[in-house]
Chain A
Amino acid sequence: MTAIQIIFILSALVILGAAVMVVSTKNLVHAALYLVATLFGVAVLFALLDATFLTVVQVVVYIGAIAILFIFAIMLTRREMRDQGEQLNGGWGAAALIGLLTFGGLFLLLGNWRGFGATAAALPSGFDGVVELGTALVSTDAFVLPFEVASVLLLAALIGAVYVAGTKK
């Protein structure tokens, strides 16, 4: 077993264990912190794939912004951090069945896929993922239109948030 495989298995265990804890723990802040662990594990997977930009952005956006926002929302809206109600409702059997079927389907599909056991080809020397990504985002024959549309959407959301939060004089 190579070092990369060991790291992959460890991070996969952390991701899955923490993801189960997110939905099964009764304490909402703990759920948010387990979510952070899950997202961090995903960042480790990106790092294993040599996707440095995605690794760092995963941490900045999901842990630095979204998870903090979750924790803030929980702390500001809940007096009691502990969820008292039942964790399962009547539909749990059907949900488990659908979950198992989806897992089985994916398992079969990936089992038959030839790329599953293949090792990734080494990156060419001098390959800089950040440069490639940046060029792709602004070149006209690649993703310049979705990039611009997304920035306009974000700007609109920003202005909307300021307008909603602003007090009228």
Chain B
Amino acid sequence: MTFWSDPINFVAQWLRDVFTGWGWSSGLANAITLLLGALVLISFAMVLDIFLVWIERKVVARFQDRLGPNRIGPFGIFQPFADIVKLIIKEDITPAGADKLVYNLAPILSLTSVLLLWAILPLAATIYGTDLNVALLYLVAAGALGTLSIIMAGWSSNNKYALLGAFRMVASMVSYEIPMVVALLIPTIITGSMSVREITLAQGDGGVWFFIVAPLATVIFLISAIAELGRSPFDLNEAESEIVAGFHIEYTGMKFGLFYAGELLHAFTFGGFLAILFFGGYRFFGLENLHPLVGAVIFLVKALIGYWVIMWVKYTVPRIRIDHMLGFNWKFLTPLSLVVLMVTAVLNQVLAGTETWVYALVMFLANVVIGWITLEALRAYSRSQRKAEEPVVSSVAQAAHH
């Protein structure tokens, strides 16, 4: 291993040698190196976060037929630094009757729940925080901490709107957790492991990207990820027209900034997980074998594409009502995901040992059949709904006519 073939691990090994050279025990040297590695990873994520602010503002501007930030630096790229200065010098207000400790802890916990996810993201074949054998459950567990941070923020603000926003957010996060867990089980079944590293490797040599094998799971994961993020069309937690800004209504300055940064980084991270679970992670037709950093760039580009899709949905689809949102989850997404899970599990056993292309083709066709049946069922349902509503509409029209 030289510096040029694998810089990150080379530096880590060099640091370990330096520390043991100072007479430290190998355990201590290892712990300090890992601590420094975590610090570097978090710093990288936070610096990336600064540019995500710029990307988000630029993309939303394009979707809304505007130019977006364009004054500071080329293409307005230094706008986030102006935003940060503004957030820092704003007055820091704690509302009267707020629960100070919980109020100040909530934004930190919110950002932490996102940064925790970076521990398991494999940026390249040799660049990853840790290779957990329960990584996908870890993803769900970090989401649970995010839920907790939102309920803490909503309750401690001593504000009705904040509490309402928190209730809505928690209701949606707790219920959309179910299709998300089921969608996460599908790559687990195909790979036979919950480790994201194993899942990436299984989509490499001799395997196909899982969005071909499990297109419905890809869509279900994307939908439940957007719900977990609380972005439009599931942004009832901060519905400006009803509850002003939801759970973060009372937060000012950098405390609001932490929520905002956490949301953007969360969206990007879920784009990354979409890339890892269904689009091959850092792999791109052997290009990643050139150099670990090439793999990292491929991963970041794929994550950005996933993030772009999430933004695309956010700025295109209007907000839906809370009963529709919960009905969509419990009456449509959960049963559908369970059906997909059962079919995938059975087919995975039946097709064990067959050629990769047979496996992928049969899995894909099974997904197409399930999708087609679902669409037909939805069409029949909406037709019956329309029929039930029609007489009412015509009587109203007649009443208006008279």
Contact = CB atoms under 8 A, between A and B. Distances in A.
Nearest to A76: B167
A60 B137 contact: yes
Interface string A25-42: 001011001001000000
B170 A64 contact: no
A59 B28 contact: no
A33 B152 contact: yes
A63 B152 CA distance: 13
B325 interface: no
B147 A68 contact: yes
Nearest to B144: A64
Contact of B132 (A27, A52, A60): A52
Nearest to B194: A130
A129 interface: yes
Interface string B139-155: 01101110110011001
B85 interface: no
B197 to A, nearest CB: 13
Q: Which 3 A-B pairs have the closest CB atoms?
A: A64-B144, A59-B141, A56-B137
Interface residues of A, number: 25
Contacts of B143: 64
A71 B166 CA distance: 12
B369 interface: no
A72 B169 CA distance: 12
Interface string B13-31: 0000000000000011001
B100 to A, nearest CB: 12
A140 interface: no
Nearest to B137: A56
17 contacts: A29-B155, A30-B99, A36-B148, A52-B134, A56-B140, A56-B141, A60-B144, A63-B141, A63-B148, A64-B144, A65-B144, A68-B144, A68-B174, A72-B167, A75-B163, A130-B133, A130-B134
Interface residues of B, number: 26
A72 B170 contact: yes
B138 interface: yes
Nearest to B143: A64
Interface of A is mostly: helix
Interface of B: 27-28, 31, 99, 102, 132-134, 137-138, 140-141, 143-145, 147-148, 151-152, 155, 163, 167, 170, 174, 177, 194
Contacts of B148: 36, 63-64, 67-68
Given A52-B134, A68-B174, 8 more contacts: A2-B27, A29-B99, A55-B134, A56-B137, A56-B140, A63-B141, A65-B174, A67-B148
A56 B138 contact: yes
Interface of A: 2-3, 27, 29-30, 33, 36, 52-53, 55-57, 59-60, 63-65, 67-68, 71-72, 75, 128-130
Given A29-B155, A63-B145, A67-B148, A52 B140 contact: no
A53 B133 CA distance: 8
A5 to B, nearest CB: 11
A2 B28 CA distance: 8
Contact of A64 (B141, B152, B194): B141
Contacts of B151: 68, 71-72
A53 B137 contact: yes
A73 to B, nearest CB: 12
Contacts of B31: 3
A52 B144 CA distance: 17
Nearest to B154: A75
Contacts of B177: 64
Contacts of A63: 141, 144-145, 148
Contacts of B167: 72
A128 B163 CA distance: 43
B134 A64 contact: no
Contacts of A65: 144, 174
A56 B134 contact: yes
Contacts of A55: 134
A24 B223 CA distance: 43
A60 B141 contact: yes
Contacts of A57: 137
A3 B163 contact: no
Contacts of A56: 134, 137-138, 140-141
A59 B147 CA distance: 12
Contact of B145 (A27, A30, A59, A72): A59
